Amino acid sequence: MDAALPQIAAFVLAWGALWGSFLNVVVYRVPRGLSVVRPRSRCPTCERPITAWQNVPILSWAALAGRCFHCKTPISWRYPVVEAVVAALTLAVVWPWLPAWLEGDLAPWQAGVVVGGELAFAYALVAIALIDADTFLVPDALSLPLVLMGLALAFAVGDLRGVPWVQAGSGALAGGIGLFTLQWTYARATGREGLGTGDIKLLAAIGATLGLRALPAVLLLAALQGLLFALGFHAATRGRAVAERGLASVRHLAVPFGPFLALGALQWLLLHRMFDARVQAWLGSV
C-alpha cells in the first residue's frame, strides 16, 4: 500500500485541480444566473471559446503567461490560485480516510459516501466564500442543499464520521436559530443588519455537516479571523476611507462574514481529529 501512496496523492491532486477549475466556473456563473454546465467557457473579452489545452488547471495559465491566447486580455491570478488551493484541499480531505479505505476497513460504498460527502461540503464552502466575497451574498442554491446533504450524511455514515444524526440535527437547528438570534439582537441594538440571512443558512449547513459540538469553535475561528482581516483591511485603507466618507465609515467595517464561516468550518473539518486526540490525551492524563 505504501508504495502506491505517491501515485494516489498525485492523482488526488490532479482530480482536485479539475474541481478547482469547475469551481471557478461556478463562482463566475451562479451569481449571474447562468448554467454551470453549458456553454463551454469563453474569454469574456473576445468571446472565443477556451479550448481544452488552454483549460488545463494551473499549467495553462502559466503557459499563457496569464493572458487570453487570442486577444491577450489578462486572466485573473485568482483562477490558478483557486485551482491550486482546491487541489491541496482535496488531498487534505481525502488523506485521513485513505488508510481505512485501502486496507478495507471501510466498505467501498462507505468510503465513497464519506469522502464524496466531505469533498462536496468543502467545494461548496469554497464556492460560497468566493461568491460572498465578490457579491456580499450567500446563494441559497448552494447553502440549502448543503443542509440536506449534511443530514443525509449523518444518517448514512454518521457513526463513521463522528457526527451522528442527533449532532447533525441539533447542529442545523442551533446554527440556524443561534445566528438568527444574534442577527436580531445586533439589528435591534445598532439599527442595521450585521449578518445576512445567507449567513444563517450557511451556519445551519455547517451545523448539519460538522455537528452541534463543532459550532462554538467554528464561530470563534470565524469571528477572530474575520476581525483580524477587518482590522488589517481597515489599517490598509483607513486614510482613504476617512478622506472619502468621513469618520463614520471607520465604525462599520464592511467585510462579508460568509468567507470566514467557510474558513472556520474547513479548519474544523481538517484539524478537529488532531485536536480531539490532544484533548482526549490531556483528559486521560488528568
Tell me which residues touch Zn ion (CB under 5 A).
Answer: 43, 45-46, 68, 70-71, 73
Place of cell 463513521: 160
Minimum distance of Zn ion from residue 76's CB (angstroms): 13
Minimum distance of Zn ion from residue 47's CB (angstroms): 7
- Closer residue to Zn ion (CB): 73 or 185: 73
> From CA 44, how far away is CA 33, in angstroms rounded?
16
Radius of gyration of the chain (CA): 21
Verify cis geometry, omega within 30 degrees of 0, for the bond prior to 39: yes
> From CA 210, how far away is CA 218, in angstroms rounded?
10
Minimum distance of Zn ion from residue 28's CB (angstroms): 15
- Closer residue to Zn ion (CB): 64 or 274: 64
> From CA 178, how far away is CA 167, in angstroms rounded?
15
Which has the closest alpha carbon to 195: 184, 205, 206? Answer: 184
C-alpha cell at 45: 473579452
Place of cell 489578462: 74
Minimum distance of Zn ion from residue 61's CB (angstroms): 14
- Closer residue to Zn ion (CB): 43 or 151: 43
- Closer residue to Zn ion (CB): 48 or 240: 48
Minimum distance of Zn ion from residue 135's CB (angstroms): 24
Which has the closest alpha carbon to 259: 211, 207, 199? Answer: 199
- Closer residue to Zn ion (CB): 75 or 265: 75
DSSP-assigned beta bridge partners for residue 95: none
Minimum distance of Zn ion from residue 37's CB (angstroms): 22
User: CA separation (Å) from 269 to 186, 210, 260?
Assistant: 28, 7, 14
- Closer residue to Zn ion (CB): 51 or 190: 51
